[in-house]
A and B are shown apart, each in its own frame.
Chain A
Amino acid sequence: NAGVMQNPRHLVRRRGQEARLRCSPMKGHSHVYWYRQLPEEGLKFMVYLQKENIIDESGMPKERFSAEFPKEGPSILRIQQVVRGDSAAYFCASKTSADTQYFGPGTRLTVL
Chain B
Amino acid sequence: AQKVTQAQTEISVVEKEDVTLDCVYETRDTTYYLFWYKQPPSGELVFLIRRNSFDEQNEISGRYSWNFQKSTSSFNFTITASQVVDSAVYFCALSEASGYSTLTFGKGTMLLVSP
Contact = CB atoms under 8 A, between A and B. Distances in A.
Contacts of A102: 47
Given A42-B108, A99-B95, A105 B43 contact: yes
B99 interface: yes
A31 B91 CA distance: 22
Nearest to B93: A43
Interface string B98-115: 011111111110000000
B37 interface: yes
A99 B50 contact: yes
B45 interface: yes
Contact of A43 (B33, B91, B95, B97): B91
Interface in A53-108: 55-56, 59, 89, 91, 93, 95, 97, 99-106, 108
A112 B63 CA distance: 43
Nearest to B106: A42
Contacts of B103: 33, 35, 43, 45, 93, 101
Nearest to B97: A99
B44 interface: yes
Contacts, number: 56
A106 B37 CA distance: 14
Interface in B39-70: 43-47, 50
22 contacts: A31-B101, A33-B103, A42-B91, A42-B106, A42-B107, A43-B45, A43-B105, A44-B105, A45-B102, A48-B102, A55-B100, A89-B43, A91-B45, A99-B95, A99-B101, A100-B35, A100-B47, A100-B50, A103-B46, A105-B44, A106-B45, A108-B43
Interface of B: 33, 35, 37, 43-47, 50, 91, 93, 95, 97, 99-108
